[in-house]
Structure 1
Amino acid sequence: MGKLQDKIAVVTGAGRGIGKAIAEAFAAEGAKVAVISRTEANAQSAADAINATHPGAAKAYALDVADGAACAEVGKQILADFDHVDILVNNAGVTKDGLLLRMSEADWDAVLDTNLKGAFNMVKAVQRSILKQKGARIINISSVIGLIGNAGQANYAASKAGLIGFTKSLAKEYAGRGVTANVIAPGFIATDMTGVLDEKIKAAILEKIPLGDFGQADDIAATAAFLASAEARYITGQVIAVDGGMVM
């Protein structure tokens, strides 16, 4: 029996990459997973992949988490389909990089609305159920960029840093109900985006990582599975950097 047997998990941004790996890891540990992605095609593809290995473990939902009203409606649908929610993982995120001198208000708003307000929207959508569940978990996926900043990513860094403050506040508000809230801050993770980087850029990045390698989506998923489990019952309000030692 898995660590998350019979738990109901909601994972946003689960159509690919880190979110998909987290959803797969949760299903492998016995959870039922609401797989959320912006597009129906991505959500369904990820859910189908999970169900191929763990029949009936996943259900797909198309949702733009920046839309509060849509989050409320999908939250109702998830509760109708699964009865309750034990675990919420806010992973959905976008980037619209550019130096602040040239950054448009639209690019600022788009990143903050998805990365930060999206987490707020999802918590609001399922919090009443989460607060009723013994040992419920909220896990927000930030970034090392939220800890150290990065030129050309003021909007992304602000959103990811904001997620940390948001999580710490949730941890304090929900502790009385036995609900934990924690942050995972991934470093450079091997994804489709890093795969197209020039070799010189890759080498420059690797020089900043003491372990000398890019992380894998499964590294983040394993951390999320631990934080979601009963073993992590006494951990709340924390930021866990999974970054090969990049931020110390």
Structure 2
Amino acid sequence: MDRLLENKTILIAGAGGLLGGGLVSSILDQGGKVIAADMNIDVMTRQLASLGVDIESTNLTFALLDVTDEESMNQLFSVYENIDGAVNSTYPRNKTYGTHFFDVSLDSFNENLSLHLGSAFLFTKQCAVYFKKHETPFSLVNISSIYGVVAPKFEIYDNTSMTMPVEYAAIKSAIQHLTKYTVSYINDSNFRINCVSPGGIFNHQPDEFLNAYKKKTHGAGMLDVEEVIGSVLFLLSEQSRYVTGQNIIVDDGFSL
């Protein structure tokens, strides 16, 4: 039986991150070839090696990419001529990101929207340009969030220093509509874009938060990266051939 992504080449932007690294490993396991792209190749290589990825694999290529820089984006897409799909798992933000609502300045808010939403626009547009140039099937997966779907449950942050940043809600909801806009504009069944909206992903958050979050789910609590990846693989594969402009929520009922 063929693996899910046999002979497909997938570009992962943000491959040195938590989700991106997991995707690289899983796509290789599913028979795919991966172009792993990030701002720092050395850091990305170490991260992937720590996940058990064979960094010497002939199916793995490393690429330098700053998603906030148009020239860097154009350069990467001009080098490769056989990309079948892409995932944008990047998360660019400034140093004041995560400040509580009343402390967020307009300049900081605008900068974070420019970094994250702006780069999502740039990456999405570049994928569309690539499709128009090569005219071969292409599937892009953008990463949104449950907080792009529902309002924050601020009570789960009580007794912690954490909050749900206002920029995050604005960006992640906009990414879903950017996805719909672009596939509607291109209007070709060979070019697909979909979103995956994960619930919270475990990354050693405080116990108080983890316990409060778990009570809002059906029992799973925070998700491991591996529990989100399956939906991304589905959207990259031929099994979702006519799924386009959609948002798959993976949150064990948190958003209900």
Structures share a fold, TM > 0.5? Answer: yes
Smaller-chain TM-score bracket: 0.7 to 0.9
> Which digits, 9 at most, give the CA deviation of each residue in 1:193-247, with x for residues without a partner?
xx1x322221111111123322111122111111111010121111111111111
Aligned pairs for 1:126-145 (under 5 A) are 126-131=127-132, 132-145=134-147
> Which residue matches 2:247?
239
Cα distance change of structure 1 residues 222 and 44 upon mapping to structure 2, 3 Å threshold:
same
Superposition TM-score, scaled by structure 2 size: 0.84
Question: How far apart are 1:126 and its partner, in Å?
Answer: 3.6
Consecutive unaligned residues of structure 2, counting only runs of 5 or more, are: 155-163
Equivalent pairs counted in the alignment come to: 240
Contact 1:115 1:160 in 2 (8 A): no
Contact 1:171 1:179 in 2 (8 A): yes
> Which residue matches 1:159?
171
| Cα distance in 1 between the residues matched to 2:136 and 2:23 | 21
| Cα distance in 1 between the residues matched to 2:104 and 2:47 | 33
What letter corresponds to residue 244 of structure 1 in structure 2? D
What letter corresponds to residue 240 of structure 2 in structure 1? A
2:235 counterpart SS class: helix
| Cα distance in 2 between the residues matched to 1:98 and 1:242 | 26
Aligned pairs for 1:1-248 (under 5 A) are 1-46=2-47, 52=54, 55-77=57-79, 79=80, 83-94=81-92, 96-131=97-132, 132-150=134-152, 152-191=164-203, 195=204, 197-248=205-256
Cα distance change of structure 1 residues 86 and 50 upon mapping to structure 2, 3 Å threshold:
farther
Higher mean C-alpha displacement, 134-143 vs 56-65:
56-65
What letter corresponds to residue 65 of structure 2 in structure 1? L
| Cα distance in 2 between the residues matched to 1:107 and 1:24 | 35
What letter corresponds to residue 91 of structure 1 in structure 2? S
Superposition TM-score, scaled by structure 1 size: 0.87
| Cα distance in 2 between the residues matched to 1:229 and 1:136 | 10
| Cα distance in 2 between the residues matched to 1:208 and 1:43 | 34
Cα distance change of structure 1 residues 207 and 51 upon mapping to structure 2, 3 Å threshold:
closer
| Cα distance in 1 between the residues matched to 2:246 and 2:180 | 7
Runs of 4+ in 1 over 4 A off after TM superposition: 46-51
The structure with the largest helix share of the pair is 1
Consecutive unaligned residues of structure 1, counting only runs of 5 or more, are: none
What letter corresponds to residue 221 of structure 2 in structure 1? D
Question: How far apart are 1:134 and its partner, in Å?
Answer: 4.0
| Cα distance in 1 between the residues matched to 2:188 and 2:145 | 28
Question: How far apart are 1:103 and its partner, in Å?
Answer: 0.8
